[in-house]
Structure 1
């Protein structure tokens, strides 16, 4: 794996102005994705995950920050200059039906990005590429002549994945790509994405709230709360030894294969504050069971707290014997989801 990120985001901000007030959907986050890596961006609904993906793709304008793709800054490019860049970064949307044109046959849907980026030499090459794409995502060849409504949800998502692959990208952003699917179909799509990643060397930014799926497929995880990233860690560190109370609370709510197994729960109280008026200090302090005075006045910085792990939490400035964040060592010797 290369030592240089294929995708890098620096201090990304996206604020929406509603009736004169700024909604700070994304308020200064930084992350990177390495070639061939899956970085999962997780958090509760409304935390800003999907806005991050759309801002990276330039589907919405940035309020601030930088987006760097393969060493090239793309956040300030004009529409014309951005066009060839879009070939290298594609997206799979959450809803596999509304993201496909219902009036276009599957063959035409897959042909569109191939034509847009001039990838086919002639009509025969175009047809061959479409056939290979259908085979890659395990759809029959006759799917090319059918309309999206003739397929199941899982099959439509395969079409969406094939459309993303048609442009021959190096990065794919999966925005809740499996959340609308049945459990068994989710597993099939996740396995497909993993196979494609191994075969093609794709980098994936996997946006999700399903931690069971994330644990199965990710290399690293970034946890987001109210427009900020509160923890970044390798999969093993995040699931075995979370260093932020919010991450711990999310993981403690995941069902485990043995319901009777001893576990420590962190039950969050209250509602998520409004991104229009986020709390001062740590944004999580209004719901955190371990809040102390510093949390209410000083915003914690995301910093290294263990090898392969960063967290934005003042608890790590306390002596180890005074840190109230529970240890997971006694709960299980394996990750949360098998």
Structure 2
């Protein structure tokens, strides 16, 4: 990582209106994303994790400007893009690309691989002539480790893992600075998943890409990320460097998420934390801390005052009132059984 800021998001909000009544007016809002801030440097991976429905994918689509924002700022390579009109976004599309979750619906079944990869190259005028175009297509196939002659085949002739490699090649075709991976490996088999993750890491090192990696699979995240941001009900509740977060979470929700990951070593001690109740509705989030309805450590202040995301002095941010208590009274700092993770282990290929 170079420390060069590529993407910066400040107080991002996306509220979807609920239509109803006789006249079809707005009767409420779904607070899908409600004040999210983060940044990504060149060559860095920031993973966005949390339960289904917490707003992860909405953040990704908001950053990509696939819809307009309710509030907040998105700055890409020093240029604010959240307030740009749709017609002016074309140059921005080249700088930030996406790999979607489903490799089967992400590719046009009526286009051969050559045409799929050629489309972004032609759209952004990156090839000097037809010979240059063919060479670029061949290099993309090399980068994602597929044979060059496969460009003459149709998407249905490939496996799921091979299709996702083509999706990655299509994203790389525009020569972007940032790639948003929206659950890019969740639909794949375990062995194929590992190969795609290793491929993404190799490409990042080779090309200096920044990545926003959206996932619910903490084992994958722990293997490939630099920093982790944990979301709950539209808000980020914790952000930290990978080792710090997996080694000592500072938010009860993160602690519960990590306790649910299968133990990597037989016999390793791990206390499973089962959260009570259901995730509240994003239409009417609870007052105070949004996690207090399920938190095993909640006290009166949690029910009335919303905690702010604060740094512990070492770049580990958490939004939790427990850290205002004396250290001896903070259950997150006095765990009987520390969380055990393989922070140095390779995911391998199986």
Q: Same fold (TM over 0.5)?
A: yes
SS of residue in 1 equivalent to 2:33:
strand
Equivalent residue in structure 1 for 2:166, among 132, 135, 159: 159
1:164-183 alignment runs, 5 A limit: 164-183=171-190
Structure 2 length normalisation: TM-score? 0.94
Distance 2:109 2:270 in 1: 47
Contact map agreement 1:256 1:337 (CA 8 A) in 2: no
2:192 equivalent in structure 1: 185
Distance 2:339 2:323 in 1: 23
1:25 equivalent in structure 2: 32
Distance 2:210 2:343 in 1: 24
Question: Are residues 145 and 111 of structure 1, via their aligned partners in 2, closer, same or farther at CA, if it must alter by over 3 Å?
Answer: same
Unaligned runs of 5+ in 2: 20-26, 346-350
Equivalent residue in structure 1 for 2:282, among 275, 289, 297: 275
Q: Runs of 4+ in structure 1 displaced over 6 angstroms?
A: none
1:251 equivalent in structure 2: 258
1:9 equivalent in structure 2: 9
Distance 2:158 2:77 in 1: 36
CA deviations 1:15-36 (Å, max 9, x no partner) are 1112222000000100000000
Contact map agreement 1:14 1:25 (CA 8 A) in 2: yes
Aligned length: 338
SS of residue in 1 equivalent to 2:17:
strand
Contact map agreement 2:271 2:337 (CA 8 A) in 1: no
Pairwise CA RMSD: 1.4
Contact map agreement 2:223 2:343 (CA 8 A) in 1: no
1:33-112 alignment runs, 5 A limit: 33-112=40-119
- Superposition deviation, residue 334 in structure 1: 5.2
1:142 equivalent in structure 2: 149
SS of residue in 2 equivalent to 1:325:
helix
- Superposition deviation, residue 184 in structure 1: 0.3
Are 1:239 and 2:246 counterparts?
Answer: yes
SS of residue in 2 equivalent to 1:30:
strand
Contact map agreement 1:91 1:164 (CA 8 A) in 2: yes
SS of residue in 1 equivalent to 2:312:
strand
Question: Are residues 27 and 217 of structure 1, via their aligned partners in 2, closer, same or farther at CA, if it must alter by over 3 Å?
Answer: same
